[in-house]
Structure 1
Amino acid sequence: MKQFFVFVRKEFYHVFRDKRTLFILFGMPVVQVLLFGFALTNEVKDSPVIVVDNAKDEASQAIIGKMYASHYFDIEKAPLSHNEILENFRDGKIKAAIIFPANFNADLSHTNKAQIQVITDASDPNTATTVLNYATSVIKSYQEELAQNTRIPYRISTEVRNIFNPQLKSEHNFVPGVMAMVLMLICVMMTAISIVREKEFGTMEILLVSPFKPILVVFAKLFPYLTLSMVNLVTILLMSVFVLGLPIKGSILLLVLLSMLFMVCCLSLGLLISNIAKSQQVAMLISLVGMLMPTMIFSGFMFPIENMPTLLQVISNIVPSKWYYTIVKFVMIKGLGFSSIWKEALILAGMTCVLFFVALKKFKIRLE
């Protein structure tokens, strides 16, 4: 029995000496509770909404007041024209626009019915449907209050218009997210594992002492995965157009060029991971946990970033796939040009330069 406890104590020593094991045992549960409790929610809160009140009467003000009272909308009242509203949608500044006609209260009083127009940004169909349901619920609540005070059956109908994705197809949200995940995983994980494999097998030292310069060895290792990622990009785009029926509304050349920028950024990240990892298993763990999870959580693909706590929103800014996901949606789904995505492209280019420079500086040309 004494020997048994000796072995138990030895195993405890091994566990507490291994920082990675300690993180998995104690860190991961805490992280998961925080993420699933606060960040990972499909509920849409404080959605930026423009209200165009052409009526400015008692009924319209009452409905707007109810919207203000809820925590679902971040309302901005502005007398914008139709083109100005569309421009706000293209720039991603608003999720919906609610428009009251000029004679809203008069129509409701004299004909017992009136109409409100709700325009949503359906490039993200889940958010568009949720925001529409919230707006409809507020309007229905006001309609029920009217019914309590009178026997006249007032009816307020909602005219719905979904722009960028009138049919609310899920492919408009699914395809950009898949592109970000696939390219991220192939470029980061495969690059990191490939270089670490050479170190484990002892062949990296042979490559480094060959007539080629070490920098050329690195580029030779990265180039195949850039090529394979381009093949995957073309495959996804062809399937989205001919299988899923999702046309590319913007410039294909712009989409391909910015996709290549994202690939180089991910390759640089993979190279950096290869300098840290000592084995293929560690490289794969860092790539999966460090890249796959942030891509799913912080890119906006599965969970709205604006609903997360402020700290997590700040953290999402350092995830390259967040900016690439936005670029793909704006170019592919909304059909916008470089003038609308220059900020995202500039941030992605800056990340690429920093990661590539750090990865090269830390790349060891002499193995220990």
Structure 2
Amino acid sequence: MRQFLVFVRKEFYHIFRDKRTLLILFGMPVVLIVLFGFAITNEIHKAQIAVLDNARDAFSSRLVSRLTASGYFEVNRYLSSRAEVEPAFREGDIKLVVVIPEKFGHNFHHAKKAPLQLITDSSDPNTATTLTNYANAIVMQYQEEMGGKMELPLTIQTAVRMEYNPSLKGVFLFVPGVMTLILMLVSAMMTSITITREKELGTMEILLVSPLRPLLIIAGKVVPYIGLSFIISLLILAMGAGVFAMPVKGSLVLLLLECILFGLTALSLGILISTITNSQQTAMMISMMGLLLPTILLSGFVFPLESMPVALQVISNIFPAKWFIIILKSIMLKGGGLQQVWLPTLILSGMTLFFLALSIRNFKSRLS
């Protein structure tokens, strides 16, 4: 029994000496609780909206104030004409446009009815439906407040128009998300595991003494995954268009180039992970915690970022998946070109160069 207790104590010492194991054991529950506790929610707060107020009277101003006072909406800009609605959506920040017609207050009190239009960005159907429900509820409260208990009740007739996804098909949201997830798994996780396996089996040293330079060895390892990720992108696009009628309104060439760019970003992440790990198990755990979960929870794939605390919204900016999903939605659903996706494209390019530079630095330090 004493020998058994000594053996158990030795195992405890071994675990406590391994900082990476401790990080996985104690860090994983904390991270999961925080992510699932804050990210998995259907509530949306401070969604960015635009207002086209053609009435410009006290009644329309009071209605806009009710929308913003609810905490669900935040006016990002005021539009001057309907021609500005489409560009506002293409920029990606605006989720809802409230169109108030001329003589809104006059029609409300004299004609006993006033039209109101809500235009939503339905590239994310869950968010569009939620925001529409919020707005309708606030309009109903405003109507009751202004009408009171009159024999001829005053009514506001709300007309809802869904942009980019009028039928609210959920598959239009999940095809870009699934493409992002699979490319991240294939390019980043598999690359990190493949290179780490060479180190774990001791064959990396044999490769390093070969005539090939170290960078060429790494390049030879990842080139097959670049081609594989490109083929997977074509497969997902073909299935999305053929099976689910997923549109590609923008340039197909630009879309494929963006897929290659994201594949390179994910590959650079996989190389970086392989330079800081010595076992396949550790590489897999880091990939799962650092890439897979954030891709699902913090990219806007499943849960809208607007519903998360500001801290998580800021953290989401460091994950490439968020920017790639923005690119996919803009090109596939909104018909956007390079002018609309230049910023996320530049961010992904910068991330790729940064991860590669850090990987080369770590790789050289391990060889010295």
TM-score range, shorter chain: over 0.9
Unaligned runs of 5+ residues in structure 2 are none
Report whether the alignment pairs 1:59 with 2:59: yes
Kept after mapping to 2: 8 A contact 1:205/1:367: no
Which string of whole-angstrom CA distances, capped at 9 and with x for unpartnered residues, describes residues 229-251 of structure 1?
A: 11100000001111110121111
1:240 maps to amino acid? G
In the alignment, which residue of structure 2 is the partner of 1:339? 339
In the alignment, which residue of structure 2 is the partner of 1:48? 48
In the alignment, which residue of structure 2 is the partner of 1:320? 320
In the alignment, which residue of structure 2 is the partner of 1:101? 101
Q: Secondary structure at the match of 2:156?
A: strand
Kept after mapping to 2: 8 A contact 1:101/1:116: yes
In 2, distance between residues paired with 1:24 and 1:17?
13
Kept after mapping to 2: 8 A contact 1:118/1:132: yes
The 3 A distance-change label for structure 1 pair 22 and 212 is closer
Which string of whole-angstrom CA distances, capped at 9 and with x for unpartnered residues, describes residues 263-308 of structure 1?
A: 1111111111111111111111111111101111221112222333
Which string of whole-angstrom CA distances, capped at 9 and with x for unpartnered residues, describes residues 197-251 of structure 1?
A: 1222232222222232222221111111111111100000001111110121111
Report whether the alignment pairs 1:206 with 2:202: no
In the alignment, which residue of structure 2 is the partner of 1:122? 122
Residue 51 of structure 1, CA deviation: 1.9
Residue 128 of structure 1, CA deviation: 0.8
Residue 77 of structure 1, CA deviation: 5.9
In the alignment, which residue of structure 2 is the partner of 1:281? 281
In the alignment, which residue of structure 1 is the partner of 2:256? 256
Residue 178 of structure 1, CA deviation: 1.0
In the alignment, which residue of structure 1 is the partner of 2:78? 78
In the alignment, which residue of structure 1 is the partner of 2:359? 359
2:32 maps to amino acid? Q
The 3 A distance-change label for structure 1 pair 59 and 237 is same
1:329 maps to amino acid? K
In 1, distance between residues paired with 2:122 and 2:87?
15
Q: Secondary structure at the match of 1:317?
A: helix
How many equivalent pairs are there?
A: 368
Report whether the alignment pairs 1:224 with 2:237: no
In the alignment, which residue of structure 2 is the partner of 1:293? 293
In 1, distance between residues paired with 2:367 and 2:68?
63
Kept after mapping to 1: 8 A contact 2:180/2:321: yes
2:97 maps to amino acid? A
Range with bigger deviation, 302-311 or 340-349: 302-311
Residue 189 of structure 1, CA deviation: 1.0
Over the matched positions of the two proteins, sequence identity in percent amounts to: 51
Residue 155 of structure 1, CA deviation: 2.4
Kept after mapping to 1: 8 A contact 2:197/2:279: yes
Kept after mapping to 2: 8 A contact 1:180/1:321: yes
1:94 maps to amino acid? I
Kept after mapping to 2: 8 A contact 1:97/1:118: yes
Residue 108 of structure 1, CA deviation: 2.5
In the alignment, which residue of structure 1 is the partner of 2:175? 175
Q: Secondary structure at the match of 1:120?
A: strand
Residue 31 of structure 1, CA deviation: 2.2
In 2, distance between residues paired with 1:72 and 1:64?
12
Q: Secondary structure at the match of 2:148?
A: helix
In 1, distance between residues paired with 2:113 and 2:306?
36
